[in-house]
Chains A and B, each alone.
Chain A
Amino acid sequence: MSFAFVFSSLVVLCFLVSLVYALTSCDVVEKTLKETAWSFVLMLGGICILAAIVKILPDILLG
């Protein structure tokens, strides 16, 4: 199982969801691009942080 493939799928999915969200939220092109970028960073960042917490926290708690 390729981690790169799974992670790149997540990145693509986050980008597409951000793009659709931005398209439905803004009418101006510049604002749409900015909204896409911000929502992409927040969504992917949030998922990565959550994944890290879920993976790391049990190790810390369980020693």
Chain B
Amino acid sequence: VKKYLVSFSGLLFPGLGHVLMGRFAKGFLLFAVLTGMFVVGVTFDQDYFHRFGISPMGEQFPPIEDRGGSSADEGTIDMIWKYAFTYVFPFITGIGTYVVGFAMRDMVRPLVLTLGLAKDLATVPVTYKDIGYCFALLSGLLNVLVMMDAYDVAYNAELFKDSAQDRREKWLQ
């Protein structure tokens, strides 16, 4: 049970599983890298949090018809991806990281203008948005790898009786 808890703690913050296992440096580095990637991603991809017109935070967006499309255009795969992206992906990327990114979005948005990538926020080129989307998606996918590694660490610690307490004591000495 412990190894599953350690592994799935990555759903809260990337690297949390490593911290719980006493691997503080590695855990904090993974947290910094993956959270940084996500924040950079949502900085460039201005529409990240409502990419498909719905937000898990309860925000309202224009219906698809107002955006030049039709709900009849949405196939089953489109619908699955839309709901998976909106409601499942925040957990994969780390719900804490997602919420921090969401809260900081108005703060980090003007960085695109500071970097001189667009004249105003409404005209950010689609290539920059795609780069941002790629950063944010990769941060989530890498978090899955990190969670699997945390499981591996917990499994080995259990197997070799190398308890997290020992590691914590060594680290504190």
Contact = CB atoms under 8 A, between A and B. Distances in A.
A, B bound: yes
B99 interface: no
B134 A17 contact: no
Contacts of A56: none
A20 B143 CA distance: 9
B84 interface: no
Given A13-B134, A19-B33, A24 B146 contact: yes
Interface string A9-45: 1000100110111011000000000000000000000
Given A5-B117, A17-B138, A17-B142, A23 B131 contact: no
Contacts of A17: 138, 142
B138 A24 contact: no
Interface residues of B, number: 19
Contact of B30 (A6, A9, A20): A20
A1 B135 contact: no
Interface string B125-150: 10110010011001000100110110
Interface of B: 26, 29-30, 33-34, 37, 117, 125, 127-128, 131, 134-135, 138, 142, 145-146, 148-149
26 contacts: A1-B125, A5-B117, A6-B131, A9-B131, A13-B134, A13-B135, A13-B138, A16-B33, A16-B37, A16-B142, A17-B138, A17-B142, A19-B33, A20-B33, A20-B34, A20-B142, A20-B145, A20-B146, A21-B145, A23-B26, A23-B29, A23-B30, A24-B145, A24-B146, A24-B148, A24-B149
